[in-house]
């Protein structure tokens, strides 16, 4: 077995997909999980992958695995899309990210041989609601709950660099995947003939196909030149209206309705920012490093996802 890579938060959509890809290249993949005892069979992990229990707050029990590792990938944190952002839920979302990141930094600090790299997850929500402004890795952080959370999450891992660890911050857009995440929920109303443009439709949505997201994460793990913030988004962001029209066209369904922003705010509260905030983000650093997208265009990405969904749906 080859070099060891640890994935915190590795039992989610991205973690499982990344684990499969890394294990396919003969690496030892350790998924840090709060429910390791009961999850291994259900996750159907490939050879070369195993689960290791952790509490999400400390390096107790597993910290020694960080020593000599090729990389630690930090995907841990409570979902931001699991319900309205009450004060208690905001605290859990932020706290889960800060506590788990502190545990990883603790393991790095205690390692006899620090891992070579830390790949820290973040999100394009870092930039806040920025209208039509084209955003690169050099753009300033934005406001709002998403911007503040992403900024705090990124800052929490900065100490790893003091131990000589190469740190990469992956600011990911909306990941389009048939296996889970946002896309199945976005596509369902369209399949039922009830697709709608959300809000004004002018807000920008920066997206990435799951295949490119996972390939980019592996690329950043392996590329010694990758450091600092890197936007993981496709080169062609879409407005919400443009995305809705493309999805309706791909599914051969009508697009007849518009959901005003106020109705979304009434139903979701501030969580409506997930679909109403505008982030027109460019993958400048990723392209400079030489990464090549498999699905750079929205039409191709939607065509692939919808064909595979239809192929998997019983007649």
247-288 pLDDT, tens digit per residue, is 999 999 999 888 888 888 877 787 778 888 999 999 999 999
| 151-193 tens-digit pLDDT | 999 999 999 999 999 999 999 999 999 988 889 988 998 999 8
Of 207 and 41, the one with more pLDDT: 207
Q: Is residue 153 part of a domain?
A: yes
Query: Which of 14-28, 54-68, 227-241, 267-281 is least confident?
Result: 267-281
Q: Is residue 158 part of a domain?
A: yes
**pLDDT more than 90, % of the chain:** 69
Q: Is residue 102 part of a domain?
A: yes
Q: Over 50: is that where the pLDDT of 208 sits?
A: yes
- In terms of pTM, does the model score above 0.85? yes
Take residue 91 and report the two structure tokens written for it: 């605290």
pLDDT at residue number 295: 98
Q: Over 70: is that where the pLDDT of 64 sits?
A: yes
Q: Is residue 199 part of a domain?
A: no
Q: Over 50: is that where the pLDDT of 312 sits?
A: no
What's the mean per-residue pLDDT of the chain?
Answer: 90
Q: Is residue 271 part of a domain?
A: no
End-to-end CA distance of the chain: 42
What is the CATH number for 16?
A: 3.40.50.720
Q: Is residue 111 part of a domain?
A: yes
Q: Domain of 27?
A: 4-177+208-234+281-294
Domains contained in the chain, number: 1
The residue written with tokens 């003091």 in the block is 162
Identify whether the C-beta of residue 52 lies closer than 8 Å to the C-beta of residue 32.
yes
Q: Is residue 59 part of a domain?
A: yes
From 265, 205, 188, select the one nearest 239 (Cα to Cα).
Answer: 205
| 100-141 tens-digit pLDDT | 999 999 999 999 999 999 999 999 999 999 999 999 999 999
Take residue 172 and report the two structure tokens written for it: 């990911």
Q: Is residue 201 part of a domain?
A: no
Q: Over 60: is that where the pLDDT of 314 sits?
A: no
């Amino acid at each position: 077995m080859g070099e060891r890579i640890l994935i915190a938060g590795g039992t989610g959509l991205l973690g499982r997909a990344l684990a499969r890809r890394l294990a396919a290249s003969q690496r030892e993949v350790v998924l840090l999980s709060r429910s390791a005892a009961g999850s291994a069979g259900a996750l159907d992990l490939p050879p070369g992958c195993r689960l290791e229990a952790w509490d999400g707050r400390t390096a107790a029990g597993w910290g020694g695995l960080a020593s000599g590792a090729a990389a630690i990938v930090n995907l841990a944190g409570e979902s931001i899309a699991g319900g309205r952002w009450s004060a208690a839920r905001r605290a859990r979302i932020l706290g889960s990210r800060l506590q788990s990141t502190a545990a990883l930094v603790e393991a790095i600090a205690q390692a006899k041989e620090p891992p070579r790299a830390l790949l820290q997850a973040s999100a394009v929500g870092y930039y806040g609601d920025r209208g039509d402004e084209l955003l690169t890795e050099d753009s300033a952080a934005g406001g709002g709950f998403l911007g503040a959370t992403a900024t705090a999450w990124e800052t929490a891992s900065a100490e790893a660099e003091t131990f000589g660890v190469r740190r990469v911050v992956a600011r990911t857009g909306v990941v389009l995947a048939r296996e889970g995440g946002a896309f199945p929920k976005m596509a369902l109303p369209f399949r039922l003939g009830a697709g709608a443009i959300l809000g004004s439709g002018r807000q920008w949505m920066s997206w990435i196909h799951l295949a490119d997201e996972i390939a980019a994460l592996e690329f950043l793990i392996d590329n010694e030149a990758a450091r600092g913030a890197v936007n993981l988004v496709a080169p062609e962001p879409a407005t919400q209206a443009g995305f809705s029209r493309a999805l309706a066209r791909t599914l051969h369904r009508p697009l007849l309705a518009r959901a005003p922003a106020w109705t979304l705010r009434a139903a979701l509260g501030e969580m409506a920012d997930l679909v109403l905030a505008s982030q027109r983000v460019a993958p400048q650093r990723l392209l400079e490093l030489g990464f090549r997208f498999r699905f750079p265009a929205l039409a191709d990405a939607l065509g692939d996802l919808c064909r595979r969904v239809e192929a998997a749906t019983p007649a």
